[in-house]
Structure 1
């Protein structure tokens, strides 16, 4: 398995977690509450945890290509949802 994680420092973590899960739930399986979320894509799994200070995002896939695709999907949607607050998701390099 290939994995990566990131943290977005924001007091709106719970809002973004719910928004991402609700959005993707129209096409893939997603489960969430105000503090935890999980999205099952064909290419991998994304889990999230939110607290008063941050949104923690963890992605896992079977190979690097799928992981890169999953990271791109999550980033593009997060960045779109958070643009008003000028939040941008950054994945670690390497």
Structure 2
């Protein structure tokens, strides 16, 4: 799904599970749609378990902490898996290539 937060000029693109929890999230900011986050819940959990959570958060960000059904002020639109993947890959590569 996708939604726009105009206060920050940020697009949020999310892959959610059957219960509405975000499992992967991409955030694109500004008119250039600069990737500022490309986080995976599974990776975040592994980083937490390995004691590397700060490192992961500072590089890739975090996924939404509430299920989609509890979001306020957002009007999410549906995306296909393919549409999400088209954003995920380039955003991850761009963020991963930045100096840490």
TM-score, normalising length from structure 1? 0.34
Structure with the larger strand share: 1
TM-score, normalising length from structure 2? 0.32
